[in-house]
Amino acid sequence: MNLTLTIDDDTTVSALWLQPPEPRATYVFAHGAGAGMTHGFMEALSEALLARSVATLRYQFPYMERGSRRPDSPAVAHAAVRAAVAAARERLPDTPLFAGGKSFGGRMTSQAQALEALPGVRGLVFVGFPLHPAGKLGIDRAAHLSDVRVPMLFLQGTRDELAELSLLQGVVQGRGDTATLHLEDDADHSFHVRVRSGRNDAQVVQALADAMAAWFEARVR
């Protein structure tokens, strides 16, 4: 279902809502910096979650809606996250609500949560957390996670060039019981795997959906 979200008096963005017959959870799913909500990976993972009784709300950040390549400022991105969370909560007010996204979208969601808790959100799921730029190792981008007071699930590929594995493991361990790391062997930042891995990208998507659905279920019992 196509939706329109109002960010402020001057800004609206497109959104896509997928709802199973008996939803067990809702996931507000933000896109990455370089591709919008209709990217094939976003669609495939949303459909896989639908098959597992998880509703999803995908949405555009304002810059993507305009066709710009330059991501929005954090303040604008955070406002979009809040509008999307509010819209999802309104559609299924009695269903457990989670939020996050692919790369940039996940980081903007966690920043928003760290600044002021997103109403109703029980946990965050990062689909490839961008811990650092490619080739520039560091953990500064994770500093705000210490202010996130809800559980977090990190879905990460072992070949992710934006998240050196030992650094990411340290970040997750530093969050204690509030953070969980799920690794997909041989996957890169786009969750692409090489032929020699013995799997294909579609199988990775299904594994990600399984991990998400199980994590959601464990937090709604």
185 touches 197 (CB < 8 A): yes
The pLDDT tens digits of the residues spanning 71-108 come to: 999 999 999 999 999 999 999 999 999 999 999 999 99
172 touches 154 (CB < 8 A): yes
* In the chain, % of residues over pLDDT 70: 100
Question: What pLDDT is stored for residue 105 in this prediction?
Answer: 98
The pLDDT tens digits of the residues spanning 34-81 come to: 999 999 999 999 999 999 999 999 999 999 999 999 999 999 999 999
pTM beyond 0.85: yes
Superfamily of domain 2-218: Alpha/Beta hydrolase fold, catalytic domain (3.40.50.1820)
Buried b (16+ CB within 10 A) or exposed e, 66-93: eeeeebbeeebbbbbbbbbbbbbbebbe
The pLDDT tens digits of the residues spanning 139-195 come to: 999 999 999 999 999 999 999 999 999 999 999 999 999 999 999 999 999 999 999
Question: What pLDDT is stored for residue 89 in this prediction?
Answer: 97
Q: What is the biggest distance separating any 2 CA atoms in the chain, rounded to whole angstroms? A: 51
CA–CA separation, 139 and 179 (whole Å): 16
Q: pLDDT grade, residue 220 (50/70/90)? A: confident
Cross-strand bridge partners of residue 14 = 4
For the chain, domain boundaries: 2-218
Question: What pLDDT is stored for residue 3 in this prediction?
Answer: 93
Question: What pLDDT is stored for residue 120 in this prediction?
Answer: 96
The pLDDT tens digits of the residues spanning 105-123 come to: 999 999 999 999 999 999 9
CA–CA separation, 165 and 163 (whole Å): 6
Q: Residues 129-137: what's their mean pLDDT?
A: 96
Q: pLDDT grade, residue 127 (50/70/90)? A: very high
